[in-house]
């Protein structure tokens, strides 16, 4: 089994559509032991969802913006397992003022909140768990991303936060490489999670993927992203760190794509007008 014996901490499970839920489900199927985290009003919801996993698991309280809770969870992991093989950072937040065209008018207070939750919490969580990862031989840290290489309609300050997340990934890979810890991100295409559908322009993103994705993209199936996360947790990619792995049907790689039936190529000029064939 790909993750046999692995011990994993997973943030960000809210519903069965959550990418983190897909990762937790697949990880358990591949032999891992999992603990989830949640906080506030979401905590009882996550606990109910955790009961539907192949192996119902514990859900610990963790607000990633509170240093004392980060320290408490690290201590609890030490007491429970003594080490940690991997973690998933699946946390992001932006108020409505920071999305959907509000970029030029968002206050610093709202921007600071976006950056704290969506960017700074990634190194904060990793720092708290670093000694446990080192004890496990290095382990693997994975975060969830959305391609920050270009501007997306309505994504606004969350796009800026994701660009910061990608930079944090590189610096964490540099800082923790000597202890053997790998740090990577998975950049997913648009999925109809609770967080994503809070963006009014989600349908624009979905339409973009429908037109441009070389591979068919299913916006309600988080399984491909969960599989990528599990692959990064596994021992099969021991020299991969500081990477952004795109699981987006190929949209990041192409400027445009024309949807064709499988196995068909470009229409020849002869087929179009009876003149010279262009292969």
The tens-digit pLDDT sequence of the chain (279 residues) is: 999 999 999 999 999 999 999 999 999 999 999 999 999 999 999 999 999 999 999 999 999 999 999 999 999 999 999 999 999 999 999 999 999 988 999 999 999 999 999 999 999 999 999 999 999 999 999 999 999 999 988 899 999 999 999 999 999 999 999 999 999 999 999 888 777 767 777 788 888 888 889 999 999 999 999 999 999 999 999 999 999 999 999 999 987 765 555 555 444 333 334 433 333
Q: Which of 6, 7, 21, 162 is catalytic?
A: 162
162 is catalytic: yes
**How far, in Å, CA of 137 to CA of 119, rounded?**
26
Structural contact between residues 155 and 260, judged by C-beta atoms closer than 8 angstroms: no
The pLDDT of residue 258: 59
CATH for 7-273? 3.40.50.720
Q: What is the pLDDT of residue 262?
A: 53
Q: Per-residue b/e over 235-262, b at no fewer than 16 CB within 10 Å?
A: eeeeeebbbbbbbbbbbbeeeebeeeee
Domain boundaries, the chain: 7-273
Positive or negative: CA dihedral 173, 178, 180, 181: negative
Cβ contacts of residue 145 below 8 Å, gap of 6+?
A: 162, 165, 166, 169, 185, 186, 187, 188, 244
Residue 267 DSSP class: P
Q: What is the pLDDT of residue 257?
A: 66
> Would you give the DSSP letter of residue 16?
T
Sign for the pseudo-dihedral over CA of 235, 237, 241, 247: negative
What one-character DSSP code corresponds to residue 242? S
Q: How many separate helices (H) and strands (E) can be counted in the chain?
A: 9, 7
Catalytic residue among 6, 7, 21, 155: 155
pLDDT score recorded for residue 260? 55
- What does the block give as tokens for 104? 């030029």
Active site (annotated) includes residue 21: no
59-61 and 86-89: which strand pairing? unpaired
Adjacent-strand bridge partners of 59: 36
- In contact, 269 and 276? CB cutoff 8 Å: yes
């Amino acid at each position: 089994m790909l993750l046999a014996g692995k011990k994993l901490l997973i943030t960000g499970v809210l519903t069965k559509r959550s990418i983190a839920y897909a990762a937790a489900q697949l990880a358990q199927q591949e032999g891992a032991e999992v603990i989830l985290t949640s906080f506030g009003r979401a905590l009882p919801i996550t606990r109910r969802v955790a009961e539907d996993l192949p192996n119902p698991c514990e859900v610990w309280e963790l607000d990633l913006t509170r240093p004392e809770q980060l320290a408490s969870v690290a201590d609890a992991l030490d007491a429970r397992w003594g080490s940690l093989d991997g973690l998933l950072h699946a946390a992001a937040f932006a108020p409505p003022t920071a999305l959907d065209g509000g970029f030029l008018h968002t206050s610093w207070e709202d921007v600071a909140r976006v950056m704290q939750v969506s960017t700074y919490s990634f190194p904060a969580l990793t720092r708290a768990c670093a000694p446990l990862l080192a004890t496990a031989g290095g382990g693997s840290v994975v975060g969830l991303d959305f391609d920050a290489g270009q501007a997306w309609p309505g994504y606004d300050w969350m796009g800026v936060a994701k660009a910061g997340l990608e930079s944090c990934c590189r610096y964490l890979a540099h800082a923790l490489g000597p202890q053997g810890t790998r740090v990577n991100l998975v950049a997913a295409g648009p999925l109809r999670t609770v967080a994503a559908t809070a963006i009014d322009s989600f349908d624009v993103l979905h339409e973009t993927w429908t037109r441009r994705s070389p591979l068919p993209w299913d916006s309600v199936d988080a399984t491909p992203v969960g599989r990528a996360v599990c692959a990064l947790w596994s021992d099969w990619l021991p020299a991969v760190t500081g990477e952004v792995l795109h699981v987006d049907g190929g949209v990041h790689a192409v400027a445009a794509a024309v949807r064709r039936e499988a196995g068909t190529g470009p229409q020849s000029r002869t087929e179009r007008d009876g003149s010279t064939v262009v292969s």
